[in-house]
Amino acid sequence: MPDIVSPIDGKCAFEYEHLSLENARARIDAAADAQRSWCATPIAERIALCQAMLAAYAKREADNAEQITRMMGKPLAHALGEFRGPMRERTEHLCALAVEALADEVPAAQEGLTRFIRREPVGVVFDIAAWNYPLIIAINVIVPAVLAGNAVVIKHSHQTSLVADQLAAAFADAGAPAGLVAPLPVDHEVAATLMRERRFGYVSFTGSVRGGHEVYRAVAAESFVGCGLELGGKDGALVLPDCALESTVDNLVDAAFFNAGQSCCGIERIYVHADIHAEFVEAYTALARKYVLGNPLEAATNLGPMVRADAVQHVRAQVQEATSKGAALLVGDADFAVPDLSDCYLAPQVLTGVDHTMALMTEETFGPAIGIMKVASVDEGVALMNDSHYGLTGSVWTTDDARARALLPRIEAGTVFQNRCDYLDPGLAWTGIKDSGHGASLSRLGFLSVTRPKSFHLRTAT
């Protein structure tokens, strides 16, 4: 049985069992059986199930949150907040959108003909979910899929494998048909085999670029079904002289270090106009030093460990390379009492004097480290923002609305912000370009990937 080693103390927190290929096939067959009747269920009942799922999850939220914290190190308050905030918000918003998003599209009338396009479910959806936001990454796929009439099987990341059981239990408690939403704990080899066997109508993957290529190849080997890929980012922020400095600093510190920097849309590089660079850096470093790094089960902690020791080493390697090339480390381990409970604890790292010869500014960090680079002009800042093979989000910080509206179309990213960052609005499509992935979730567009269009062309009998 695979062990889930907790980053809190380096000890085994939980165990779970991988399904054999035979048992995995049986679970997918059960999901397909459930889907055949579920797709005929009225939309009002599908909405009611997803709403009841929230109530069912809430009954176990304390135990579930502690389990998440022990599995991946998120502070307990943040684990609770993931359900109470974005998971609930996104589920409710998608439920409110479902009737309109799934309604028939009727073209202009033609005499003697009835014509419409219907969005039909794809069948069984395979959701391969990441560990860093284990509830909301999964729910972005599960809820629209169920609302559209699909079944879902969930392969959660090894580190948070038990979250798939949490979500399946909540749907079961809410009255879902047996097998409609089910965990599928399989290893990579079995998952690849299942994707090649054409058992799914849609595959969603959240993870690394390398993993995305592997999933895309496995799906394409024998199938032409849709494949959604959310593959991370190197999200930048451009800070202009007329920004609201205090709120800008507050937001950009939080966006760099929340969840120990382990967020695909967290801020990983900041470009500050020379006119306010010194003032910005002073305020930023002062606020970064206020974090409480410690055991995430303790109430005072707002910065827990990273997920694994090798993730810490990856961040340290980027920081060390940057300082070897002349960057200055202004905030680091010396500013904190770093716990020795495990090798997964890393203090916030803030560096200046950085440039694009350094991996810290060009390659995904996915940890609590940030580079702040001085720029001489807006055009230089935009060019540096776009100098990346990622394109998930980008933000501009200015009180000049007209300037922001002129700048944001120039930023190469799936989502662009003014005076905001590190946020998914369920009313807007979540999508990326370049190596940040392919496809879209959330919003009305999120229903497109878990449905397929079917045209009805009926000649009226005469």
Catalytic residues: 230, 264
CB 413 within 8 A of CB 392: yes
- Side chain identity, residue 61: E
Burial class (CB in 10 A: 0-12, 13-18, 19+), 19: middle
Helix, coil or strand: residue 74 = coil
Which residue in 200, 231, 203 sits closest to 438, CA to CA? Answer: 231
* CA dihedral angle for residue 123, residue 124, residue 130, residue 136, rounded to 10 degrees: 60
The three-state secondary structure class of 381 is helix
User: Token digits for 462?
Assistant: 């005469």
Beta-strand ranges (E) seen in 275-413 are: 328-331, 349-352, 369-375, 390-391, 393-397
Residue 329 has what DSSP assignment? E
Rounded Cα gap, residues 80 and 291, in angstroms: 19
Rounded Cα gap, residues 287 and 281, in angstroms: 10
Residue 170 near residue 57 (C-beta atoms within 8 A): yes
Q: Which two tokens stand for residue 188?
A: 């990579």
